[in-house]
């Protein structure tokens, strides 16, 4: 378990290393928006690729051991505004806020007890004698824009506050074009925007962020089973990618907390260093038939599903005793079509594991960040900062060093680097003492450092140093690529 982190020092480290920068910083930044630097962007890509690979291309088998059917989607950020009417976002996606007539500040009503008064920071908002707070009023969190050249009420559109609705409105398209049968899931990764009243805690609550969402469509009678399945699969995914400390916890929401669409939600939470209580990384929600029914009502389109296989199985079973009696079979079929067939038409239920890319990335950074003491080149203890990323997520997978830049070691090292480069994110570093080069890679979280030394020139073997154990093994030069492939394989 990592120790408590000083968040100011941590944010400076993340900036210095090129993980995260404040957006448009040279103009003073903009609250709630962040940029990812050279290491951060690789980390983010690795997170999204791991999710896509583990959930869409190669998901774990279902509760019955059968293969899971998952497909992907990439929807527009701006959609017909009626989508947001149907989803309930136009009327209900708001936070209650209060204004202060004295300082002109605007605050979330549920955070008054935590926020310092801008005029007198030693007391909470509303507690200074000059504070003049209004009654709480709803404030819609959707970013509004206009489509086209005319800025009128008729041309208002919204930046999506979640990727989920793009999946619901494409349910029929995916069904028709891919001939999938229920149960199946549609996955999407993409940007979402929320005009948060109080963005805070570094990137945790941002105004622009990315989501990784799955809408899993199933038969209503199986929905509880799939809800439990996804809750466990998603929790285990975080553990597999390195959130192994007891800071990760699933928490079933109480009835009073549930969103309007949900009949059960488990939040997968992480105890971030800036908070006293674990905070949400992902919500796994049982949404029932809320979304498809709402879009069917608002669009006038039929979004129900007909269970063809179930219906054919019933016909086969009921007609089997009348193989040789055509008239009787026709008679029974008519009755079944009237009484039984409608039962095979239903609106699927939806289980939704909805994760935030940026929140997971922040948790990965916090969990990976540590300081320890290692011997320097002369054997003296030295403090190092090391990012203990899971190798699959590490921005750089390996660094290649010549021990010294002579006797042809640099040529061999550079050649190896060029051979590895098409396959892995690797760097070549030949400047400074070897200890310094190791430290640089420890700070970037590079799991393996490969060094070409005198022995390489004699027997073609290189050393591979493990970032966490500091152990060094010798591997034949020709085997390095295979060794790395194995070490980085998803498992």
201 vs 481, which CB is nearer to ligand GAP?
201
Rounded to the nearest whole angstrom, what is the least distance from the CB of residue 354 to ligand GAP in the complex? 4
281 vs 413, which CB is nearer to ligand GAP?
281
* C-alpha to C-alpha distance for 313 and 468, rounded to whole angstroms: 57
Rounded to the nearest whole angstrom, what is the least distance from the CB of residue 264 to ligand GAP in the complex? 14
Rounded to the nearest whole angstrom, what is the least distance from the CB of residue 366 to ligand GAP in the complex? 14
Rounded to the nearest whole angstrom, what is the least distance from the CB of residue 431 to ligand GAP in the complex? 38
194 vs 388, which CB is nearer to ligand GAP?
194
Residues within the interface to ligand GAP (CB under 6 A): 162, 164, 194, 196, 205-206, 209, 211, 213, 280-283, 352, 354-356, 358-359
352 vs 442, which CB is nearer to ligand GAP?
352
85 vs 132, which CB is nearer to ligand GAP?
85
358 vs 429, which CB is nearer to ligand GAP?
358
Region of residue 140 (left: phi > 0; alpha: psi -120 to 50; beta: else): beta
Rounded to the nearest whole angstrom, what is the least distance from the CB of residue 266 to ligand GAP in the complex? 11
265 vs 451, which CB is nearer to ligand GAP?
265
- Residue 84 CB partners (closer than 8 Å, separation 6+): 90, 93, 142, 158, 165
279 vs 441, which CB is nearer to ligand GAP?
279
Rounded to the nearest whole angstrom, what is the least distance from the CB of residue 212 to ligand GAP in the complex? 9
Rounded to the nearest whole angstrom, what is the least distance from the CB of residue 190 to ligand GAP in the complex? 11
Rounded to the nearest whole angstrom, what is the least distance from the CB of residue 60 to ligand GAP in the complex? 21
Q: In the Cβ-directed half-sphere of 199, how many Cα atoms lie within 13 Å?
A: 19
Using CB atoms, what's the residue nearest to ligand GAP?
Answer: 356
13 vs 204, which CB is nearer to ligand GAP?
204
Cβ pair 360, 279 in contact under 8 A:
no
217 vs 448, which CB is nearer to ligand GAP?
217
Kindly give the interhelix angle for 480-488 and 409-420, rounded to the nearest 10 degrees: 50
Other residues' Cβ atoms within 10 Å of the Cβ of residue 407: 15
Q: In the Cβ-directed half-sphere of 341, how many Cα atoms lie within 13 Å?
A: 10
Rounded to the nearest whole angstrom, what is the least distance from the CB of residue 209 to ligand GAP in the complex? 4
Rounded to the nearest whole angstrom, what is the least distance from the CB of residue 183 to ligand GAP in the complex? 19
């Amino acid at each position: 378990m990592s120790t408590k982190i000083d968040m100011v020092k941590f944010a400076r480290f993340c900036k210095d290393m090129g993980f995260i920068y404040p957006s448009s910083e040279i103009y003073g930044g903009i609250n709630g928006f962040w940029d990812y630097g050279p290491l951060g962007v690789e980390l983010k890509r690795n997170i999204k690729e791991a999710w896509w690979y583990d959930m869409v291309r190669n998901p774990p088998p279902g509760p019955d051991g059968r293969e899971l059917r998952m497909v992907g989607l990439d929807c527009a950020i701006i959609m017909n505004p009626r989508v947001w009417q149907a989803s309930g976002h136009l009327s209900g996606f708001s936070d209650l806020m209060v204004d202060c007539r004295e300082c002109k500040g605007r605050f979330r009503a549920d955070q008054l007890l935590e926020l310092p008064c801008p005029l007198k920071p030693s007391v909470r908002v509303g507690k200074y004698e000059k504070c003049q707070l209004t009654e709480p009023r709803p404030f819609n969190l959707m970013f509004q824009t206009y489509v086209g050249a005319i800025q009128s009420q008729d041309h208002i559109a919204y930046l999506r506050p979640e990727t989920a609705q793009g999946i619901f409105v494409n349910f029929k398209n995916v069904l028709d074009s891919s001939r999938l049968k229920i149960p199946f899931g549609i996955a999407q990764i993409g940007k979402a925007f929320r005009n948060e009243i109080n963005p805070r805690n570094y990137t945790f609550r941002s105004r622009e962020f990315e989501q990784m969402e799955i809408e899993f469509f199933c038969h209503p009678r199986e929905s509880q089973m799939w809800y439990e399945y996804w809750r466990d699969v998603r929790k285990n995914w975080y553990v597999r990618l390195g959130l192994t400390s007891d800071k990760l916890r699933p928490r079933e929401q109480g009835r009073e907390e549930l969103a309007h669409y949900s009949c059960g939600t488990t939040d997968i939470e992480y105890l971030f260093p800036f908070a006293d209580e674990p905070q949400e990384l992902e919500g796994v929600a049982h949404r029932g038939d809320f979304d498809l029914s709402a879009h069917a009502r608002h669009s006038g389109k039929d979004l129900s599903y007909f269970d063809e296989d179930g219906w054919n199985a019933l016909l086969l079973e009921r007609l089997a005793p009348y193989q040789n009696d055509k008239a009787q079979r026709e008679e029974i079929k008519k009755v079944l079509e009237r009484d039984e067939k409608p039962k095979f038409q239903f609106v699927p239920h939806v289980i939704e594991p909805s994760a935030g890319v940026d929140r997971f990335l922040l948790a990965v950074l916090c969990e990976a960040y540590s300081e320890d003491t290692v011997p320097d080149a002369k054997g003296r203890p030295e403090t190092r900062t090391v990012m203990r990323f899971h190798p699959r997520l590490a921005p750089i997978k390996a660094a290649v060093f010549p021990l010294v830049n002579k006797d042809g070691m640099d040529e061999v090292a550079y050649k190896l680097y060029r051979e590895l480069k098409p396959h892995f994110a690797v760097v070549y570093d030949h400047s400074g003492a070897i200890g310094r080069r190791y430290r640089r890679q420890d700070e970037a979280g590079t799991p393996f450092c490969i060094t070409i030394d005198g022995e390489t020139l004699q027997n073609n073997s290189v050393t591979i140093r493990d970032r966490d154990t500091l152990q060094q093994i010798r591997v034949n030069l020709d085997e390095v690529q295979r060794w790395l492939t194995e070490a980085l394989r998803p498992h």
